[in-house]
Amino acid sequence: MGSPVSIDGSTTLADEDAGPSQLEFVACTDVGIKRTHNEDAVAACMSPFGETGCLLLVADGMGGHANGQLASSETARQIVAVYQKGELANPKSFRTAFDDVDAFLHAHVEGGGTTLVVAVVAGSALTVANIGDSRAYLLRADLLRQLTRDDSWVQSQVDSGHITPEQARTHPRRNVILKALGPGRKEGAEVLSMRFLPGDVVMLCSDGLHGVVDDEQIARVLSSGNSMETVCNDLVRLALDAGAPDNISIALCQSRNSNQE
């Protein structure tokens, strides 16, 4: 097991209310302890048009080694390509991009599928889209909030009151996904938008992290004030220390006020 593969960068943005800020972003992935191969894919890239912003992506492949890896990597490649063309601009465009990837996987990756969560920061705006159980979180003023809802069997049982969130964490069917890109998908992506303020941190992750590390631990690391690269590696280490039964993938972006040291 080697060091996590990581991608990082930064860009400067100006918010009319809060003044100039620095975006710092990173993505990393690790095979974990019990898996012999990594079916996850991550991306973190700056806006290609001189605009202030970045894209984050985490995809968790399914369908066996070759098919899962191909599904997640091809999904990441296609979504990044759409972003670099400037075509992830509104909720409709996110849903269209997800639909196009879904059609490709059905046509070209037999038996392979993937979860997908994407976040785009554009100036002081944040847009998040997801399908499956890879998640997006927002840390604001040291308070962590889950932005996305899992498309999973256990989440449906929590929503209906049949089990508690605590029971869902250890339920034997917690890995049963109800929606994903590729085989079995029935509905489109969920998309939400909000402001992205100085000091905010957005985190995307696969269940290799959120399935074994609780929100309190995650919030503590995200609130540490360390660089995003250090935070990413610290989160991976927490998952490894917890046994890491699955691949671990994380993408992070923080808006730092330019006056922050």
Residues 6+ apart with CB under 8 A from 97: 78, 79, 82, 87, 88
Under-50 pLDDT residues of the chain: 1-4, 12-20, 261
Q: Pseudo-torsion of CA 126, 129, 135, 136, nearest 10°? A: 0
Tens digits of per-residue pLDDT, 126-154? 999 999 999 999 999 999 999 998 876 56
Question: DSSP states of 139-151 as a string?
Answer: EETTEEEE-S---
What does the pLDDT read at residue 15? 39
**Could you say which DSSP state residue 132 is in?**
S
Angle subtended at Cα 96 by Cα 211 and Cα 118, rounded to the nearest 5 degrees: 30
So what's the pLDDT on residue 152?
Answer: 61
Q: Which CATH superfamily is domain 5-146+180-257 in?
A: PPM-type phosphatase domain (3.60.40.10)
What is the structure's pLDDT at 20? 46
The SS3 of residue 230 is helix
| Each residue's pLDDT tens digit, 83-109 | 999 999 899 999 999 999 999 999 999
- Residue spans of the domains in the chain: they are 5-146+180-257
Task: Report pTM.
Answer: 0.88
The whole-number pLDDT of residue 48 equals: 85
Cα 102 to Cα 245: distance, rounded to the nearest angstrom: 27
